[in-house]
Structures are given as C-alpha cells and as structure tokens.
Amino acid sequence: DGGITQSPKYLFRKEGQNVTLSCEQNLNHDAMYWYRQDPGQGLRLIYYSQIVNDFQKGDIAEGYSVSREKKESFPLTVTSAQKNPTAFYLCASSMGAGGIYEQYFGPGTRLTVT
Amino acid sequence: AQRVTQPEKLLSVFKGAPVELKCNYSYSGSPELFWYVQYSRQRLQLLLRHISRESIKGFTADLNKGETSFHLKKPFAQEEDSAMYYCALGGYNFNKFYFGSGTKLNVKP
C-alpha cells in the first residue's frame, strides 16, 4: 500500500492531553483532508487543505487543529477541547482541490481517549 | 445546502440476489457523484463515479437528475461484495465532498 500513510494505527491517550495524528503522502497531491468516521454517522470532514500553508475548517473543526507546512504532510492535533475525541480518523489526499478529483484514503488511526 | 442521504444503514441480501444501494442528493447545480467502498480491514477506496459510466465489479450507478439520485446496483450479489458503501457528492464549484452516512451491505451465503 504506499501512497498515503497514517501513524500510529492505534493511539491511546488520557483525557486532557493533546495528541497529534500523522498523515503523509508521496502522491504529489495538492489537497489533503481529515475525516472522522463514527458508526452510523459516515464521514465527517474536520479540516482540509488545498495547498501548502493554507487550510480551511470542515464541518466539525471545533477541538481540532492542523498545519500544512509541507506538501507531503498534514498532521491533525486533537486537543483537550474536543469533547468526544474517541473515534476512527481518516486522512485523504487528492490531485487537486475541489469536488471532482478522486480521494485516496489512508489506513486510518483509531484514537481512544479515557 | 448540499446534502447526501443514504436511507439504509444496513442492507442484507442473499448471494445471487439483486442489490440496490440508494443515494439521494441535494444540489441545484451540476453534480459529480461517486461511490466509495470500504471492505473489511481495507482502506476506503473509489468504486465508481458517474462521469466514467463504467461498471466496476459488476456494479453500475446511473445519475438521475430528475430524482436527484445515484443508486448503486448489481444484478447478482456476491459474498465478497459485503462492505461499507458511501455515496459522495462533489462538483466543479466545490472545495470538498459531501459524504452520505453509509450503507453496510451484508451478502449472505
């Protein structure tokens, strides 16, 4: 599988701690996305970035932060302000910004906060 | 506002039976519709998009602008089709996609 990687696969944190999820791609894609996947709720967009050094809030950005300092990398920080952080997080990338390009997804990170 | 509705959370069919996963969307412009699939322990991946008009793994989907639907169909379901299916709405004027809540397809032997 290559292309887009996420690490770690499983992550455990105590409540009140910030945690950063890694997402790297070697597809030379301009756009990158972070989704949260919960049972019965589908994919909900957290943040997206169309180009380096720029990003926009998605539908559920509260309690999360991102950076896009390099084209290949789009880390997501889950802060202590996120009220229900336990979830499966998916990163994706696409060749260009906008809703016409296929999205390539990573394997996901399952975060458990207790 | 743009929205994608997949009314069935779970769809169970027997092997060899026809299957139809429903997807309805809300968008007044020219939509780009996609179906993504997530098999057990595999990544979410593109199954097909309406503009390509392809049949992938026996699945087809026709965009019906009058009914604002993009239902996914297969005449004879196979056990390996069991997976989570997501319908997604995009478009040339969009910065992102709108995903439905997903339908879990269970094909019984």
Closest Cβ–Cβ partner in A1, A98, A105 for B92: A98
Give percent of chain A with pLDDT exceeding 70. Answer: 98
Closest Cβ–Cβ partner in B86, B92, B98 for A100: B92
Q: Token pair 């094909």 is at which residue?
A: B107
Closest Cβ–Cβ partner in B90, B94, B100 for A42: B100
Q: How far is A63 from chain B (nearest CA, A)?
A: 20
AA identity, residue A18? N
- What would the pLDDT profile of B79-88 be if each residue is shown by its tens digit? 999 999 999 9
AA identity, residue B55? S
- What would the pLDDT profile of A71-104 be if each residue is shown by its tens digit? 999 999 999 888 899 999 999 999 987 788 999 9
Q: How far is A114 from chain B (nearest CA, A)?
A: 25
Interface contact flag, A50 B95, Cβ < 8 Å: yes
As a whole number of angstroms, the distance between CA B78 and CA B99 comes to: 25
Interface contact flag, A107 B43, Cβ < 8 Å: yes
Name the band, by pLDDT with cuts 50, 70 and 90, for residue B40.
Answer: very high
Residue A88's closest CA among A101, A105, A67, A69? A105
- What would the pLDDT profile of A42-67 be if each residue is shown by its tens digit? 899 999 999 999 999 999 999 999 99
Q: How far is B17 from chain A (nearest CA, A)?
A: 25
What's the angle, vertex CA B80, arms to CA B76 and CA B84, rounded to 5? 100
As a whole number, mean pLDDT of residues B1-21 equals: 95
Name the band, by pLDDT with cuts 50, 70 and 90, for residue B30.
Answer: confident
**A10 sits in which H/E element:** strand A10-13
DSSP assignment string, chain B: --EEE---SEEEEETTS-EEE--EEE-SS--EEEEEEE-TTS--EEEEEGGGT--BTTBEE--BTTTTB--EEESS--GGG-EEEEEEEE-TT-SS-EE---EEEEEE-
Interface contact flag, B45 A98, Cβ < 8 Å: no
